[in-house]
Amino acid sequence: MKEITFYSGGLFLDAALMLETGLRIGEALHLEWVDITLAPFNGARLGFLRVREGKSKNARRVIPLTDRAAAMLQERERFKVSGFVFASREGKLYQGTSINHLHQEANAPKIEEKRRPLFSTDFVMHSLRHTMLTRLGESGVDDFTIMRIAGHSSIVVSQRYIHPTPKAVDQAFERLQLSGDFAVIEPNRLPPASVSATLTRAVAVSH
């Protein structure tokens, strides 16, 4: 998590959770402890969190927790001051604007009375969600699964994170080959001419 080592306190935990789950800022800030299930059950290996509302109906979803995310939430729970996971010291809900302001200050600390950015100014809190989804795409996760994890309203948005490499294309054909033997067409076992013509027309229509 070298991208967020300059954060501290609650901001670090918020950023870490976004990097582990791909949550939007608003989704992370509105999380309540009743939305968190740390202990796996029903045969699952991972705990999960529940997003109850968001930008669209697809935003309502369940997201499994990695071991790192579960450990961070478990530590955070020890010091909870309200029903919100990321509450202020007074127990109030953080606003997205406040988090973005804290991010800007952390990313550009004052050094000799001047703010010096540690990263590009293009690096915003939302970049953590983008990073997580990009890593999913790079690890071979398909666009429909990314859509479900991210809560995207359209598959087109999820496809932005899929960038097949030549190696990935080769692996796709290797999996195809392993899925079963290819048909071997022998001259004396070709279908009758009438069947061949029917198949040809069917292929033409399907295109």
CATH number, position 114? 1.10.443.10
- The answer as to whether 47 is a domain residue is yes
**Contact by Cβ (8 Å): 150, 158:** yes
**What whole-number distance in Å separates Cα of residue 116 and Cα of residue 109?**
6
- The answer as to whether 201 is a domain residue is no
Q: Looking at the DSSP assignment, which residues form a beta bridge with residue 111?
A: 114
**What whole-number distance in Å separates Cα of residue 138 and Cα of residue 51?**
25
Q: Looking at the DSSP assignment, which residues form a beta bridge with residue 32?
A: 84
Question: What is the enclosing helix (H) or strand (E) of 64?
Answer: strand 61-64
- The answer as to whether 152 is a domain residue is no
pLDDT of residue 80: 85
Look-up: residue for tokens 């004052």? 110
pLDDT of residue 1: 47
Alpha helices (runs of H) in 6-53, residue ranges in sequence order: 9-21, 25-29
**What whole-number distance in Å separates Cα of residue 77 and Cα of residue 167?**
43
* Token duo for residue 66: 């990695």
- The answer as to whether 174 is a domain residue is no
In the chain, the number of structural domains is 1
pLDDT of residue 6: 36
pLDDT of residue 9: 47
- The answer as to whether 40 is a domain residue is yes
- The answer as to whether 7 is a domain residue is yes
- The answer as to whether 87 is a domain residue is yes
pLDDT in tens, the chain (207 residues): 444 443 344 566 778 889 999 999 889 989 999 999 999 888 889 999 999 987 778 899 999 999 999 998 998 888 888 899 887 777 777 666 666 666 666 666 666 667 666 666 666 777 889 999 999 998 889 999 999 999 999 999 999 888 877 887 888 888 888 876 555 555 555 455 554 454 445 444 545
For 17, the domain range is 2-139
- The answer as to whether 205 is a domain residue is no
- The closest alpha carbon to 162, from 145, 181, 137, 187, belongs to 137
